[in-house]
């Protein structure tokens, strides 16, 4: 498909017109919007490019279909509409609503103005997060990342929530449509990115939170083989507890069908396809609360036998992932703050023991199964036995427990699986809290805290979302952002985050091996450390599953004995 764009000047931006001629052998050129950025950098931006037909009618709850070619000059001056999302479960400071439509499968291309006719620049494809129910590509303007580092960045929208993942067990309605959208966008990159000066053989897939989970799952999927050569997984392991499971019951499906006035059975899919999108989103909002405990069988990736052949843990254990892909993976030092969904009066000044116990039992920790034995072990593992009633210590322990289970242990498990198969990853711990963080001190370096630095937010206000994370940056943080962007893009260019000239690096980042288990602490003064939280990792990855299994076995035996006595 030949692409031709006319990108108009936006007079509200400090920009100027110029002509950017794409590769002549492709037989087309484009006039682009030129964004002038700090440090004398300039980026071309091509926004709102459709990569799929609108997923409406019979294409709702179906695999995406490539966008039809067009013959006229396409206006690519503004982002496409976001994919429909349910209402936010809680108020979000600074939230700026954006237009939404089921016709939302667009992508954006950010190109450095230094591009030359014969260039083949490394390409970075961003997948946004948001619990697979929220977010959009608009929240991550990538002009600075592209222009400051001479890479091409592509971002995309993909279907979210029930519209992206609705499935009916034992039917052809298998779910994972949002994941298939991502694959189609990657195929678009393979076909078209050379026309922008990008190298289709140097594609790095990167994302954060649900976007990183998506990256991890694409690494496991046979359907995405050959579409990327590197991945950066930011706080989103494949075995994250809330997603990627098997659909074992239909309770959420039954709830959803009732809310949209459809009957279970062969007619369900045609009935739901005929419903207004507002009715579908309303039903989702009534089922899914709070934001990060969405039922994975309706609003997240699942084992479908095609995109995801088996449980992620099993695929990783068996080495069933793309063996020719370079890997960088990491987490922040206080991921558990993401799950601190308690009333302010229960957490701001500390956490009472009974609140801690209740939160742990009802949280992500036991989403895959529970037993009294395992519950007791978790509470014991995360109790300061020298001062068990200290409410500040309890709060810290609660946050660490939630973060260790959901992020730290799965990330290390994933890193070990890759290393075992010879794909030694680069593992990081992001451990820097911005000076002007808007959050209480106890939140610390929470989920997503690195995002502003990755996209260059210290140099320019980029979006409401990145501003919400950190509204203001210091001069030292500008330098740190330059370092973070360099590390990310070095990896995209060369498969190593270390610069080619080792003398120019603040520190040499070693690969992760099963023996040394080295990782880089990303702080204003980066440093290499070893065996991150080794005792907690062993507890969650080795001890806890056995306790769950043993507890459930004991419960089943007790139930059988009770039945015998009754008979």
Q: Please state the three-class secondary structure of 474-496 as a single string.
A: CHHHHHHHHHHHHHHHHHHHHCC
Closest among 486, 497, 489, 495 to 428, alpha carbons compared:
497
| pLDDT at position 28 over 60 | no
Q: Taking CA 81 as the corner, what is the angle to CA 75 and CA 86, rounded to the nearest 5 degrees?
A: 180
* Catalytic, out of 335, 375, 414, 450: 335
> 32-73: per-residue pLDDT in tens?
578 888 999 999 999 999 999 999 999 999 999 999 887 777
- Give the number of residues written for the chain: 567
Tokens 């500390």 sit on residue: 350
* Catalytic, out of 137, 209, 221, 437: 209
Question: Residue 556 has what pLDDT?
Answer: 61
Rounded CA Rg of the chain: 24
Known catalytic membership, residue 335: yes
Preceding peptide of 290 cis, ω within 30°: yes
| pLDDT at position 331 over 70 | yes
* Highest-confidence segment of 74-88, 292-306, 453-467: 453-467
| pLDDT at position 221 over 70 | yes
Quickly state the pLDDT bin for 11 (edges 50, 70, 90).
Answer: very low
Question: Residue 183 has what pLDDT?
Answer: 99
Give the number of other CB atoms < 10 A from CB of residue 53: 15
* Catalytic, out of 102, 322, 447, 481: 447
> 80-100: per-residue pLDDT in tens?
999 999 887 666 666 778 999
Q: The pTM is what?
A: 0.91
Known catalytic membership, residue 15: no
Quickly state the pLDDT bin for 74 (edges 50, 70, 90).
Answer: confident
CA 84 vs. chain centroid, Å, equals 18
Which SS3 state, helix, strand or coil, does residue 431 take?
A: coil
Give the number of other CB atoms < 10 A from CB of residue 120: 16
Find out whether 491 and 400 touch, Cβ atoms under 8 Å.
no
Find out whether 151 and 92 touch, Cβ atoms under 8 Å.
no
* Residue 329 β-bridge partners: 233, 427
Question: Residue 246 has what pLDDT?
Answer: 73
| pLDDT at position 558 over 80 | no
DSSP 440: -
End-to-end CA distance of the chain: 72
> 134-144: per-residue pLDDT in tens?
999 999 999 99
| pLDDT at position 551 over 80 | no
| pLDDT at position 374 over 80 | yes
- What contacts 527, CB < 8 A, 6 or more positions away? 507, 520, 521
């Amino acid at each position: 498909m030949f692409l031709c764009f006319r990108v108009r000047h936006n007079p509200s931006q400090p920009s100027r017109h110029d002509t950017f001629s794409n590769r002549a052998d492709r037989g087309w050129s484009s006039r682009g919007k030129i964004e002038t950025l700090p440090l004398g950098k300039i980026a071309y931006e091509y926004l709102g490019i459709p990569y799929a037909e609108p997923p409406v009618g019979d294409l709702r709850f179906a695999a995406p279909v490539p966008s039809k070619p067009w013959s006229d000059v396409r206006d690519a001056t503004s982002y496409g509409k976001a994919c429909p999302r349910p209402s936010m479960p809680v108020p979000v400071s600074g939230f700026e609503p954006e237009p939404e439509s089921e016709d939302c499968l667009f992508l954006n291309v950010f190109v450095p103005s230094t591009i030359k006719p014969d260039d083949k620049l490394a390409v970075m494809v961003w997948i946004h997060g948001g619990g697979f129910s929220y977010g959009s590509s608009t929240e991550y303007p990538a002009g600075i990342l592209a222009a400051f580092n001479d890479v091409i960045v592509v971002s995309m929208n993909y279907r979210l929530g029930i519209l992206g993942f609705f499935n009916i067990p034992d039917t052809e309605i298998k779910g994972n449509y949002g994941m298939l959208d991502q694959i189609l966008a990657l195929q678009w990159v393979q076909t078209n990115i050379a026309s922008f000066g990008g190298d289709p053989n140097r594609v790095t897939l990167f994302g954060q939170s649900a976007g990183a989970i998506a990256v991890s799952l694409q690494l496991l999927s046979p359907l995405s083989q050959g579409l990327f050569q590197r991945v950066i997984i930011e706080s989103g392991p494949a075995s994250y507890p809330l997603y990627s499971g098997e659909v074992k019951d239909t309770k959420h499906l039954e709830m959803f069908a009732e809310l949209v006035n459809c009957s279970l059975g062969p007619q369900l899919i045609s009935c739901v396809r005929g419903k207004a999108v507002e009715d579908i989103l309303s039903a989702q909002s009534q089922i899914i609360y709070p934001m990060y405990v969405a039922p994975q069988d309706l609003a997240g990736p699942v084992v479908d036998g095609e995109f995801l052949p088996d449980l992620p843990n099993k695929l990783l254990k068996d080495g069933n992932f793309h063996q020719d892909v370079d890997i960088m993976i990491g987490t922040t030092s206080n991921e558990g703050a993401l799950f601190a969904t308690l009333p302010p009066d229960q957490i701001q000044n500390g956490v009472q023991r009974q609140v801690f116990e209740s939160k742990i039992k009802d949280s992500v920790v036991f989403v895959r199964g529970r037993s009294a034995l395992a519950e007791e072990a978790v509470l014991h593992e995360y109790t300061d036995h020298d001062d068990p009633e200290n409410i500040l210590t309890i709060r810290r322990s609660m946050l660490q427990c939630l973060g260790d289970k959901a992020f730290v242990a799965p990330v290390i498990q994933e890193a070990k699986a890759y290393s075992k198969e010879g794909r030694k990853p680069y593992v990081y711990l992001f451990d820097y809290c911005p000076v002007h963080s808007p959050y209480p001190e106890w939140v610390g370096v929470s989920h997503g805290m690195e995002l502003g630095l990755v996209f260059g937010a210290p140099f320019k206000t980029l979006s409401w979302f990145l501003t919400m994370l950190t509204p203001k940056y210091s001069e030292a943080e500008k330098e740190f952002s330059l370092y973070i962007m360099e590390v990310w893009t070095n990896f995209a260019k060369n498969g190593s985050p270390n610069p080619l000239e080792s003398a120019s690096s603040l520190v040499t980042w070693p690969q992760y091996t099963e023996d040394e288990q080295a990782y880089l602490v990303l702080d204003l003064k980066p440093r290499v450390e070893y065996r991150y939280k080794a005792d907690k990792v062993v507890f969650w990855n080795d001890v806890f599953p056995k306790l769950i299994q043993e507890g459930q076995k004991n419960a089943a035996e007790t139930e059988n004995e009770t039945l015998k006595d009754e008979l």
